[in-house]
Every structure is written in C-alpha cells, then in structure tokens.
Structure 1
Amino acid sequence: MKTLVGIETKSANRIIENLNDLLANFQIHYQNLRGLHWNIKGKNFFELHVKFEEYYTDSQIKIDEIAERILTLGGTPLHTFTDYLETSKIAVGKNITNDVEAVNLVVTGYKQLLEIERELLVVSDEADDEGTNSMISDFVSEQEKTLWMLNAWLG
C-alpha cells in the first residue's frame, strides 16, 4: 500500500515519526530562541536581540514546512506543548540573560536538530522520499553554516 504521493505506507509512517520528532525539537528550539530574544542583556544585546529574532523567524517557517510535510505523507503533526516536551531532546532554556550562555544553548539546539535531521535523511533516502530528503538537506546546509558562525562568535 502506498501514500497519496507514492511512498510505501510503512516507510511513510517511519518518516512521519521522525518528522514529528524533529517538529517537537524545533518547537522547543523556537521557544528557546524567543526567550533569548526577549531576555538577553549586556554589551551584545543589540547584536543578539536581532540575531535571535532572525533565528526564531527562520525556525517558525521550518516548523510549518515540517508539519505540512507530515500532512503530505498522511500523518498528523504533533501540536501540543505536552507532546513537544515529552518528545524533545532539546533542553528548555529558562531565564537566560548572559550572551555566552545564550549562544551555547542555541549551538546545542542546532547540534541536536542536525543529529535528528541526518537520521531522517537516511530514512527518507531508503524510502525514496525525495520531498522530505530535499527539505531536510536544505535545513542541514543552513544549520551547519549557522553553527560555524555561532562558534566563530564564541571564539
């Protein structure tokens, strides 16, 4: 049996599960970025305030793309905070105001997202799911560059 887009149902279900994992982690990453944007203090306030907004705006777009891909494959995207907290591996950052601590939280989040995305690339490749593979490949390229930049900022 195949999905509407021609992917074996069993393979699609595995991809949907992985996409929901990515979705939950992205939601926590997104909320961390919002909190950092609101609460950052110090000499790097202006630079980081703007940068965190750039990152959370990008994350919001990716969250929507992930959810829509899940729907395209015939699944249901996770959509409650309970689901996100139970599923996510990304730590919740609370009341972080220090610039270095904030950037380290973002770096850790991106590393965890990349780990999930690389696993998803294997699963989507095995299923011949070019739609998911293409989307995730784009995410990986952008996030690797972002990690490089953040690490350069950290020195």
Structure 2
Amino acid sequence: MSKNFIGLDTEKTQSLANALNDLLSNYQIFYMNVRGYHWNIKGDNFFELHAKFEELYDDLLLKIDEIAERVLTLGHRPAHAYSTYIEKSEVPERKDVADGKDAVENIVDSFAKLIGKQRELLHLAGDADDEGTVALMSDYISQQEKTVWMYRSYLGQ
C-alpha cells in the first residue's frame, strides 16, 4: 500500500477526492440556486428571505472553498468547470424562482441531498483514517441538520 504526503493510502484518497468532487459539484449548483433565490425573491417575506438567502449563500461559498482545498490536501485536483458541476450534480439547477415557499422547499430538498452525500463521505473517510475529512463532514452535517429544521419550521412542517 502506497501512502501520500499526509500518510493516507493513495487508493483511498483517490476515492475520497472523487466523492469530494461530486459533493463540490452539488454545492456549486446549490450555491447558484440560492444566489438566484436571493436576487429574485418577491412577496410578503422579501426582507426576511432576502437576508436569509444571503446568509446561506455566504456559508455555501465558504464550504465550497473548504471542500476544494480538502481535495488539494489529499493530493488531487478539485473540479472547477460548470459543465462538470451540471453533469455530476444531483441538486437540480433552478431557474427564475421568485416564490419564497418554492425557494425554501428547494433549499430543504438540496440539503437532504448534501447531507446524504456527506454521511457517505463520513464513512469513506473513516475507513481511510482521514480525520480531516471526517471532521469537516461531521461539522457540516451537524450545522445543516439544524438549518434544515429551521427551514422546515418556516414551511410549517
């Protein structure tokens, strides 16, 4: 078994990098969707949702950078083309969403996909003894579970 420069199995880090790039693709599409919600929101809850969407896309942008840097830390290259993101993302691209309820429902659905992928990565990283990725995914999951609860509460669910 060969090890990379941070002492992890090179085969396992390739699998991790692939899964992180898949996650990165989903985050990028989700990020652009939320930017669109922020720009296009209309209606009674405009001020509240406009601010919440900005808070969310700022957080997503930080996570996008952290995920890409984790891929680099593992010794691989992060995906960096929107054609790749569109091709790989299970979070669907949303266009022209102006209704707050639709936007929040899309956000909840997108988080469900991200959390599922992050749970898979948590197991994959644990198997590879990659504590850095384990910690990152664990932090994301715990933050996002609370966020989903709040958005679902907004929807009355």
TM-score interval w.r.t. the shorter chain? Answer: over 0.9
SS across alignment from 1:24: helix
**Structure 1 residue 9: deviation in Å?**
0.3
Structure 1: which 5+ runs fail to align? Answer: none
One-letter amino acid of the structure 2 residue matched with residue 66 of structure 1: I
Deviations 1:6-32 (A, max 9, x none): 110000001000000000000000000
SS across alignment from 1:137: helix
Q: Superposition pairs for residues 4-153 of structure 1, below 5 Å?
A: 4-153=5-154
**Structure 1 residue 142: deviation in Å?**
0.5
Structure 2: which 5+ runs fail to align? Answer: none
**Structure 1 residue 4: deviation in Å?**
1.0
**Structure 1 residue 80: deviation in Å?**
0.4
Q: Tell me the distance in 1 between the aligned counterparts of 2:84 and 2:92.
A: 14
| TM-score between the two structures when normalised by the length of structure 1 | 0.99
Structure 1 residue ranges (4+ consecutive) displaced by more than 4 angstroms after TM superposition: none
**Structure 1 residue 3: deviation in Å?**
1.1
Q: Tell me the distance in 1 between the aligned counterparts of 2:30 and 2:45.
A: 21
Aligned length, in residue pairs? 155
One-letter amino acid of the structure 2 residue matched with residue 117 of structure 1: Q
One-letter amino acid of the structure 2 residue matched with residue 94 of structure 1: K
**Structure 1 residue 54: deviation in Å?**
0.3
Deviations 1:11-67 (A, max 9, x none): 000100000000000000000000000000000000000000000000000000000
- The percent identity for this pair of structures is 49
Query: RMSD of the TM alignment (CA)?
Result: 0.4
